[in-house]
Chains A and B, each alone.
Chain A
Amino acid sequence: MQVPAQVEYEKATSVQHALAMLARYGPAAKVLAGGHSLIPMMKLRLAQPEVLIDINGLTDLCYITRSGDQLRIGTLTRHAQLLDSGLAGEHFAIMHDAERVIADPIVRNWGTVGGSLCQADPSEDLSAAFAAMKGTMVIHGPGGSREVSAREFHTGPYETVVGPSELLTEIRLPIRPGGGSAYLKVARRTGDWPVGAAGAAVWLADAGGGTHKIADAGIGLTAVGATHFVAAEAEEFLRGRPADEQTLARAGEIAAEHCRPVTDQRGPADYKRHLVQELTVRVLRAAISRARGLAT
């Protein structure tokens, strides 16, 4: 039987209240959102906080809204809410692609977007998706709020820039014209962690004669040792090039060259590298089709 060790419990009634308690308890405290990573880790004593600060009552942090040219997602938004959001899917289909393959419908009911990001598991899907979309994280602390690029949010496996007295409150995604996005994951079983996964967001520009060039691209890679979950070299290669198959094939090769997968129980490194090459091409193809308004 697995049970967490003894722990104190506090229920936050507002963001300010949560921040005050985080300041009081310091690193001994952990924020409890959906708990679908934290509680299993507490059962295994991989995490042993002295105090849990439950933010599930902060329902004003559950939202998906558009504000000008930004899509804003509250940190306590449940995975199921993001999957059900027409607004999210309209602007960033990648989020629906990713959410559909995160865990299972029951886990998605309670697990949260912010919790997944702060857990920073190298196999977690949303980190790569938000990196591909070039999102920004809003972090509140004792001195006010700050914004950090999704690409600088993770400092290593299970580590983020969120300090012990800070709280991730919102994710902001820039809505730009000509955009399309997609996510693909290979897992051994339905609902399992990925062997490897890739996400892409592309922004097209008219190149004349019915053709398009890639104005900008974001590529996120999951579970394959990509720095900050990003295939930066492949993105750089794509910028300004024609949106054709030859370009995509080369981008896939570059992404595969620069990631650093490890051999583990989910598969050998060379297979994962092969997955990166193939998945990168496929998500770019799907993202470009969506940007052009073609169904995929």
Chain B
Amino acid sequence: MSTFVFRRIAGVLPLLFIITLISYAMMGLAPGGPTALMVHEARAVSPAERQHLMALLGLDKPWYVRYFYWLGALVLRGNLGYSYVDNRPVIAKIVEKLPVTIELIGLSLIVTLLVSIPIGVTAARYRNSLFDHVSSLISFAGYGIPVFWLGMLLIDAFALHLRWLPAAGIASLGHEHDPIDNLRHMVLPVVTLSFVSLASWIRYQRGAMLNVLSESYIRTARSKGLAERTVIYRHALRNALMPTITLLGLSLPSLVGGAYFLEYVFSLPGMGYLGINSVFTRDYPTVMGITLLSAILVVFGNLTADIGYALVDPRVRYD
């Protein structure tokens, strides 16, 4: 088992290499650059000036050369470079923003789990009941909701009209260290993010439960005269929950992507917001830092899924 894990982790490195290479290439090939924005601020900077600046930043070299230096700095010195925008270390900028994103994804995962498991399990248990049909319908409908539309509707309803919850941000002025205030601000973004992933999670849990319920050992347990409650709770549920680890891993990419988009919509200063802004300002070092970190998150999510899958199914060969 440990060799399996080790080999999987070792396999992650070439993956990260490819991801960073592709990112750097795309950034390098995209028109515009970090100096383009300087033309329109306070007083226009001349094109000659901008050329000079590009040279100073090393941007006159082709992208593969710059990639080589970036990779070298990262691998040899653990240095993610300095932002073009304010010359601060990229690592510092990312670390500032990480807690918000982690909070958003973490809370959403918790909410999704807490809601989808009971619903999915109940839908499976009372198959073809009204509850099953209604929850299926809701989850199908939920899958089709554009996440930013839902977010805006919730803001309009709960923040602008009812004034129950704040419209954006992570804290009210003067309440920065107030956890209750912070939670209030996270309610709408978390609900929005969870809603969209709930749709598929309910289906998965229902499917997993259905599969388990049709297994022979369940029939055996029932025929032994065990109470239905014991059958469901003690035997079926535990086995039905096993794929959850895999699911967690598999849904991480879309959760991360969705969180980034939502941060932009709700103006939450997290990694996604920083990343999207950095793409717009062509702050390549920051873009690369965030791409790398997101890729690591996602890749390790998949790794967790694979391991979880292997744990669950002893028939999986560890090759």
Interaction A to B: no
